[in-house]
Chain A
């Protein structure tokens, strides 16, 4: 190559040029990217970049109303913890509460008001301004006021003064149709307490001071009423103080988290838990511990519930019934609670009344470690009175179909997902001319809306809360914005106030924003409490915001007593199941998923990747079946099966699980979304969709455990993602235990040894 011709020269020049360019870019690529240091024009007082500020507020992930404290830096929320001063959670917080950050930073949030641009349900929306969106809604509401149709407001369960504000707004529109809808609202528990004590307010179940807890289906460590508070109580009862270690017995057809933590797990035939409670009550009265004046009435009312008769109905041996009765009678502070599947049968209210009766007979009403009554909410509302039962939702759907609803406003609740398919709720919505959604996220219900006015997450908005159930004394908490709004959204209260101004309802709702409303309402508390302590309202308000919670540690003076009529009406009928035993051999037991709750947590990646505490499955759901039943059916773990009820069917992987009764299959609620963002969509199946439309007549609540199903193999296999490998110890002695004889050994001998009863069908 002594001679370089023109071609070679050009090649070399090209190579040199490309090389130099590549070298330049290489050097450029390893440089630090340009980062900016942007100071405030005017910094807020006491602000230091790099120094965290903690704000107290109220968790909005479920209805327990835990206090939270959020770490912020440079105006961004970084970490959520429990507020140590809040009496409900006392510094603790569950996984769903921790994941609240992912609602704030969720990439699938609705970022601006939107109008439907395609067919309803097509999911095509165009963005608009707040002014335009609010004007359109106001116009429609005015039309509705003039026309024949009614305006309905369907909200998630809100409490405190936001509930009052919604009430004022609807009153201003001349409509009484303000409904709250939460899938997990304990309608039957409220109804049972109304029947027993004449009061529609949840009492405080003092688990921490209970020495013997008999739980009928209530998964109190996972989802029952206030799980974080219950977990605290569980810990204290077991290990706290110098009292005896508390003993827990769990009655349920499928082992829940609480069942796994219990000293004894007793499967009773689904729907017969109330009968078992009466059997325990029968033994308690027979043992002679109850000495009230109405002993004769109780004795005769409980006469049909002898151990032998209860054993025949529940499948629990008569020895066990007698033993439970004696244990409950002898315990220093016994407490019986009911929830979960027990509250999801057609006899739920009767069963829960029976459980209340058990507490009454044990003499724990109003006692430490028993049932303690809560005072009325100190400001705003407790939220229950407007909660729509399943029956009320069916009525709403009927009204929609009949054309009696002209405008439906939906605030952050997702009935299309959480109503059984049999209710045909989405279809009913088609007949509503105007649907307005105030949702933070696109979900199955919002996808059907015409106008979307997105509301803030709870970390960006003002609000207040009266936890239900309370903790036995007056508690109220203020929810303050932790961060400035990330997107072009508004607080629900502010949206309603803006609509009020447009509709000239300012006489009813004179407040400029939610903050002003709260300050107005909290004057009451100030006058009752803060004024005595001295200082002006502003100082009181600041101290409440700093603490995040206000409380008055005084027990209620007047204690309700048991309604004498309860004795006469005592009795638990056989549960009703939809579907014949021949066509649909299995009872479908549904339960709220630890991480998804009623489905709201499914769009949070942290919740998707959190293993289920019992099965260790991540991403997706499953159906549980007893190994003996599975063997009988010729099914193996990981088989994709078709689950068919009288209302529909779905395909889901089978998980063989030893701690479930033969004849019962169990499925967690929460997965199976179709319109809830990238993390939730197309994972697993929604079990609610195949539930029968069966109500408990006494409360109107959905009997979510009253569906029978059949299981058939599809011939396909499905891979369940599990963090655990083998559910057996294989001689590794991982779980230490000191004894196996559950019947005779003392409490200490039963540590960590859960007798799993697998009876042959």
Chain B
């Protein structure tokens, strides 16, 4: 009795075909998600425009993100801070009314994080702001964006290259960031 490999293939063929189609589907599905739902520019509770604030009106980043120079996190401005201007400015616009609603109920605004580093990375804004690193180096040209999206690839390479170029002391040691 001989065993024919052709026979085996014949039996497997439909299964192999199905697996192949499923694999192609998998790849298409993966990239479709990455292309159409990148999640790098999430919809925020208020359509806040950095272009208007930081671009057109040239408000410095650190005016609102005031913690960046003294804390590990840059922080987002409190509703209180927004209302500092918007009691007077553009009070008739629907998005500002939305803001005023939050203010009246003293509710915080649940902004969605656009730039988020994994928990195993220790990054501190304070050090970078104090070293005069432009915010745009990591955050991209935010002052041109109506909807903030994650454009600069904030991956390990970006950190290391910058640390090397600027000859940061212990800048390439593992425990500088992973501690």
Q: Within the assembled complex, what's the spacing in Å between the Cα atoms of A530 and B80?
A: 37
Chain B residue at minimum C-beta to C-beta distance from A14: B18
Asked if residues B30 and A39 are in contact (CB atoms below 8 Å), the reply is no
Residues in chain A near residue B78, CB distance under 8 A: 39-43
A23 with B21, Cβ < 8 A, contacts A11-B14, A38-B110, A50-B71 known: no
A40 with B21, Cβ < 8 A, contacts A23-B26, A35-B113 known: no
Asked if residues A38 and B111 are in contact (CB atoms below 8 Å), the reply is yes
Chain B residue at minimum C-beta to C-beta distance from A51: B71
Q: Within the assembled complex, what's the spacing in Å between the Cα atoms of A48 and B33?
A: 37
Residues in chain A near residue B102, CB distance under 8 A: 41
Asked if residues B32 and A48 are in contact (CB atoms below 8 Å), the reply is no
Q: Within the assembled complex, what's the spacing in Å between the Cα atoms of A50 and B37?
A: 31
User: Quick one: which of B18, B28, B106 contacts A41, CB cutoff 8 A?
Assistant: B106
Judged by a CB distance under 8 angstroms, whether B67 is at the interface is yes
A40 with B17, Cβ < 8 A, contacts A20-B25, A48-B67, A48-B70 known: no
In chain A, positions 1-56 with a C-beta closer than 8 Å to chain B are 1, 8, 11-12, 15-28, 31-32, 34-43, 48-51
Asked if residues A27 and B17 are in contact (CB atoms below 8 Å), the reply is no
**Shortest Cβ distance from residue B86 to the other chain A in the assembled complex, whole angstroms:** 14
Chief secondary structure at chain B's binding surface = helix
Residues in chain B near residue A41, CB distance under 8 A: 78-80, 102-103, 106-108
Residues in chain B near residue A18, CB distance under 8 A: 22, 25
**Shortest Cβ distance from residue A644 to the other chain B in the assembled complex, whole angstroms:** 53
Residues in chain B near residue A51, CB distance under 8 A: 67, 70-72
A26 with B111, Cβ < 8 A, contacts A37-B76, A48-B75 known: no
Asked if residues B109 and A49 are in contact (CB atoms below 8 Å), the reply is no
Q: Within the assembled complex, what's the spacing in Å between the Cα atoms of A36 and B72?
A: 17
Q: Within the assembled complex, what's the spacing in Å between the Cα atoms of A21 and B32?
A: 10
**Shortest Cβ distance from residue A4 to the other chain B in the assembled complex, whole angstroms:** 9
Q: Which of B39, B75, B80, B116 has the most CB of A within 10 A?
A: B75
Q: Within the assembled complex, what's the spacing in Å between the Cα atoms of A22 and B67?
A: 42
Judged by a CB distance under 8 angstroms, whether B29 is at the interface is yes
Residues in chain A near residue B29, CB distance under 8 A: 19-27
Residues in chain B near residue A11, CB distance under 8 A: 14, 18
User: Quick one: which of A8, A25, A48 contacts B71, CB cutoff 8 A?
Assistant: A48
Residues in chain B near residue A12, CB distance under 8 A: 17-18, 21
User: Quick one: which of A15, A37, A48, A49 contacts B112, CB cutoff 8 A?
Assistant: A37
A43 with B25, Cβ < 8 A, contacts A15-B18, A34-B42, A50-B71 known: no
Asked if residues A23 and B76 are in contact (CB atoms below 8 Å), the reply is no
How would residues 577 to 610 of chain A score, 1 for a CB under 8 Å from any chain B CB and 0 otherwise? Answer: 0000000000000000000000000000000000
User: Quick one: which of B22, B71, B80 contacts A16, CB cutoff 8 A?
Assistant: B22
Chain A residue at minimum C-beta to C-beta distance from B23: A19
Asked if residues A39 and B109 are in contact (CB atoms below 8 Å), the reply is yes
Judged by a CB distance under 8 angstroms, whether B128 is at the interface is no
User: Quick one: which of B13, B30, B72, B106 contacts A50, CB cutoff 8 A?
Assistant: B72
Chain B residue at minimum C-beta to C-beta distance from A27: B33
Residues in chain A near residue B153, CB distance under 8 A: none
User: Quick one: which of A19, A31, A42 contacts B21, CB cutoff 8 A?
Assistant: A19
A40 with B108, Cβ < 8 A, contacts A24-B32, A49-B75, A50-B71 known: yes
In chain B, positions 82-98 with a C-beta closer than 8 Å to chain A are none
Q: Within the assembled complex, what's the spacing in Å between the Cα atoms of A25 and B21?
A: 17
Asked if residues B112 and A35 are in contact (CB atoms below 8 Å), the reply is yes
**Shortest Cβ distance from residue A210 to the other chain B in the assembled complex, whole angstroms:** 43
Chain B residue at minimum C-beta to C-beta distance from A35: B113
Residues in chain A near residue B59, CB distance under 8 A: none
Judged by a CB distance under 8 angstroms, whether B161 is at the interface is no
Asked if residues A23 and B30 are in contact (CB atoms below 8 Å), the reply is yes
Q: Within the assembled complex, what's the spacing in Å between the Cα atoms of A247 and B53?
A: 72
Chain A residue at minimum C-beta to C-beta distance from B39: A31
Q: Within the assembled complex, what's the spacing in Å between the Cα atoms of A660 and B29?
A: 70
Judged by a CB distance under 8 angstroms, whether B73 is at the interface is yes
Residues in chain A near residue B28, CB distance under 8 A: 19-20, 23
Chain A residue at minimum C-beta to C-beta distance from B30: A23
Judged by a CB distance under 8 angstroms, whether B34 is at the interface is yes
Residues in chain A near residue B109, CB distance under 8 A: 38-39
Asked if residues B80 and A37 are in contact (CB atoms below 8 Å), the reply is no
Asked if residues B21 and A15 are in contact (CB atoms below 8 Å), the reply is yes
Residues in chain A near residue B13, CB distance under 8 A: 1
**Shortest Cβ distance from residue B44 to the other chain A in the assembled complex, whole angstroms:** 10
**Shortest Cβ distance from residue A45 to the other chain B in the assembled complex, whole angstroms:** 12
**Shortest Cβ distance from residue A499 to the other chain B in the assembled complex, whole angstroms:** 31
Chain B residue at minimum C-beta to C-beta distance from A24: B29
Q: Within the assembled complex, what's the spacing in Å between the Cα atoms of A23 and B37?
A: 13
In chain B, positions 17-66 with a C-beta closer than 8 Å to chain A are 17-19, 21-34, 37, 39, 42
How would residues 120 to 144 of chain B score, 1 for a CB under 8 Å from any chain A CB and 0 otherwise? Answer: 0000010000000000000000000
Q: Which of B25, B107, B108, B110 has the most CB of A within 10 A?
A: B25
Residues in chain A near residue B42, CB distance under 8 A: 34
How would residues 239 to 275 of chain A score, 1 for a CB under 8 Å from any chain B CB and 0 otherwise? Answer: 0000000000000000000000000000000000000
Asked if residues B79 and A39 are in contact (CB atoms below 8 Å), the reply is yes
Asked if residues A32 and B116 are in contact (CB atoms below 8 Å), the reply is yes
Q: Within the assembled complex, what's the spacing in Å between the Cα atoms of A21 and B37?
A: 14
Q: Within the assembled complex, what's the spacing in Å between the Cα atoms of A21 and B22?
A: 10
Residues in chain A near residue B30, CB distance under 8 A: 23-24, 26-27
Q: Within the assembled complex, what's the spacing in Å between the Cα atoms of A48 and B21?
A: 54
Residues in chain A near residue B111, CB distance under 8 A: 36-39
User: Quick one: which of A23, A26, A38 contacts B108, CB cutoff 8 A?
Assistant: A38
Residues in chain B near residue A17, CB distance under 8 A: 25
Residues in chain A near residue B110, CB distance under 8 A: 36, 38
Q: Within the assembled complex, what's the spacing in Å between the Cα atoms of A39 and B23?
A: 44
Residues in chain A near residue B34, CB distance under 8 A: 27
**Shortest Cβ distance from residue A511 to the other chain B in the assembled complex, whole angstroms:** 28
A sample of 13 cross-chain residue pairs with beta-carbon separation below 8 angstroms, ordered by A number, consists of: A11-B18, A15-B21, A16-B21, A16-B24, A37-B111, A39-B76, A41-B79, A41-B103, A41-B108, A42-B79, A48-B75, A50-B67, A50-B72
- Report B's interface with A, CB cutoff 8 A: 13-14, 17-19, 21-34, 37, 39, 42, 67, 70-73, 75-80, 102-103, 106-113, 116, 118, 125
Given A11-B18, A27-B34, A35-B113: 9 more A-B contacts, CB < 8 Å = A1-B17, A20-B25, A23-B33, A24-B32, A26-B26, A37-B76, A37-B112, A40-B78, A50-B75
- Report A's interface with B, CB cutoff 8 A: 1, 8, 11-12, 15-28, 31-32, 34-43, 48-51
A-B pairs with the 6 shortest C-beta distances? A19-B25, A23-B29, A19-B22, A20-B29, A50-B71, A27-B33
